Structures are given as C-alpha cells and as structure tokens.
Structure 1
C-alpha cells in the first residue's frame, strides 16, 4: 500500500473514531466498533493503531506539521508571527482538514484521560521537531537550552490556543471569547515573542 493510501486510511479511521467517541463515549466504543464503521476487520485496524484512543492521532498532528514547515522556512529578518502571516499559515483558507472533528476531539481531551495522553504525546513529539528546526535556523544544536525553551514556548502557545478555541467554539458571535483559531494562535505567539516582559514590569 502506498504512503498516500495509508495516510487516507489513517485519516478515515481517525474521523470514524471521533464520531463514535462523540456519539457513544470513549469507554463505550471498542476497536470492533471503529472497524465495523469503516467496513474493515479489527485486525486491520490494529495494524494502523495500537489502541482505540491512538486512532485519533492523525487529526491532532495537521496543525503541528504545518508549524514545523513554517519553522524550517522562517527567515531571520522576520518575527515568527510575521512569517506565519506572510506565508499564509494564519489565513482562513489555511485551516487544517477535518477542523470540526479536531475541535470535538480536543474538547474531549479535557475529560478523557486516554485521549489526553495522545494529545500530550503529539505535542511532546512536535516539540522535538520544533527544536531541530529552530536549531538549524540559529546554527545551534537541538539540545541547546535556549533552543529547547523556545521550542517548548511555541509548542505550549499552540496547544493553549487550540484548547481555548475548542472550549469556546460554541460561543455566540460577539462573545469576548469569539475568536477564530488564527486569532488565538497569533495572540499566543505574540506572548511568546514578548517573553516574560508583561510579568516582570
């Protein structure tokens, strides 16, 4: 099977898993249920993922993969936020596929420990890649303290922005928390770029 077909299948499994988790709850959903929803065998399902919770992983990595690309092409004369703006990463049409499913999923990580573990592991893995990209840009090694801290700050900013958007996605227009994902990412990264300044004055 080609990598593209594997990617498509993994994404289909992820969407089916989220739909079932949303409708039935995580504890009431089995691997057999997810496989049946897709018309595949449970054995085939386990070839792609080691657990029912891990089935959702593809829906959580898209935005982080996009950030990795942007970090690798981040020019020295621009701030990260400026680079994201100019490269279109914060444009409305640059959204991650299956946004609705992703938001439902992130919301569930608040109350489902198994999904929370997957969410945090996705970010832990992304932080390693962020550090490599930042190190290449700065001419340093990925284990340099400043690189590790910078990667962690960007990582946390993205996670908090996504969680905040998921928590407030159902608010009515005009609510003070009625911001789209791009607005929240922009605001969170501006805090990172300011460092601890606002808290030390």
Structure 2
C-alpha cells in the first residue's frame, strides 16, 4: 500500500471512529453527517467520498471487526490444526468486544431499530463466510471439499453471532469469555441436536 492509500485508509478509519464516538454519546438518530464531518475535521463532501451514507459508517464497524478476525485466521502458521486456527477467529471477536464494549452495545441497538442496516449486515455476513470458506480450502491444499469448508465457515460465524447476541442481550454484563466457553462446550459435548438424515 502506497503512502497516499495509507493516508486515505487512516482518514477512513478516523471518520468511522469519530462517528461511533458521536453515536455512543448522543445517539445514532441525533447524529448528523455534518456533525461527524466537523468532529473528524473533514468537509461533508470528503466524508461522502469515504461513506456514501450514515448507514455505511455503521456497517464499516462490523466489517472492520470481521476483517480483524479474518486476519487473525490468516496469521496462523501453515500446518496449524484447523480448530486452533478457527479459535483465533473467535478470540479476535472477543478482543473487539472487550476493547469497544460501549460501541458494540450502541451498534446492536442501532441495528435493532434500523431495518436497512440489518440487510447490509446480512450481506456482509455472507461475504465473510465465503472468504473464510475459501481460506479454509486454500490452507487444506485441496484436501478439503467445498461443502466441508462452507459448513465450517458457517458454523464459525454462528458461534460468533451467538456469542455477540448473548453478550449484547445481557447489556454487556456477562463476561464475553464465559459466553464463548459455554457456547463452544455445548458444541463439543454434542448436546446440541442437529438434523438427522432420514431414509
């Protein structure tokens, strides 16, 4: 990445960070694009070059968290058992939650009240699952088929979603690590039923 691209990415991230500080402080609906631009010390036209809508700013926070989780997976040395590499993904999400609890709680409150944002989140969810499935297949050196990789990626995302939703439902009062351990233990113990084949 060149100097210009690096500077643009820093500006993009700073705008998003500034926006979320305002969302937490005064609420999503009460925050205007003009207020975000002023706080980030950029003009509204500059802000629109990075984020076409206020909704895009919200989705970007989730995207950044998922990108960090993907980077954690990709950073695992080749030959690392898949279960350990996937645990790095979940650990990254835990880190995002514990680092930015107020922002995450504000984020899910916004999603609960904004239908259009839920649609954007669903698109991001599916895109990330595909990326993870592709990386699982790449790391397997051709020994993993598409169905296995797709189901593994979906299961990982399901764990992330259950952990985040359970944590936000508690208002952030339950330690996210406890929720993660309980979720993974339920899956490991096989007490969670799955559809059985018939015939």
Q: TM-score range by the shorter chain?
A: 0.7 to 0.9
Q: Distance in 2 between matches of 1:158 and 1:46?
A: 31
User: What RMSD, in angstroms, separates the aligned Cα atoms of the two structures?
Assistant: 3.5
Which residue is 1:10 aligned to? 12
Q: TM-score, normalised by structure 2?
A: 0.73
Which residue is 1:90 aligned to? 91
Q: Which one has the bigger helix percentage?
A: 2
Q: Distance in 2 between matches of 1:5 and 1:99?
A: 27
Which residue is 1:175 aligned to? none
Distance 1:31 1:58, change over 3 A: same
Q: How many residues align?
A: 190
Deviations 1:51-76 (A, max 9, x none): 11111334213432233234333765
1:199 is displaced (CA, Å) by: 1.1
CA contact (8 A) 2:108 2:168 kept: yes
Distance 1:109 1:74, change over 3 A: farther
1:47 is displaced (CA, Å) by: 0.6
Q: TM-score, normalised by structure 1?
A: 0.73
Q: Which runs of 5+ in 2 are unaligned?
A: none
Q: Which residue of 179, 189, 195 corresponds with 1:184?
A: 179
CA contact (8 A) 1:127 1:152 kept: yes
Q: Which runs of 5+ in 1 are unaligned?
A: 172-177
Q: Which residue of 177, 192, 195 corresponds with 1:198?
A: 192
CA contact (8 A) 1:131 1:150 kept: yes
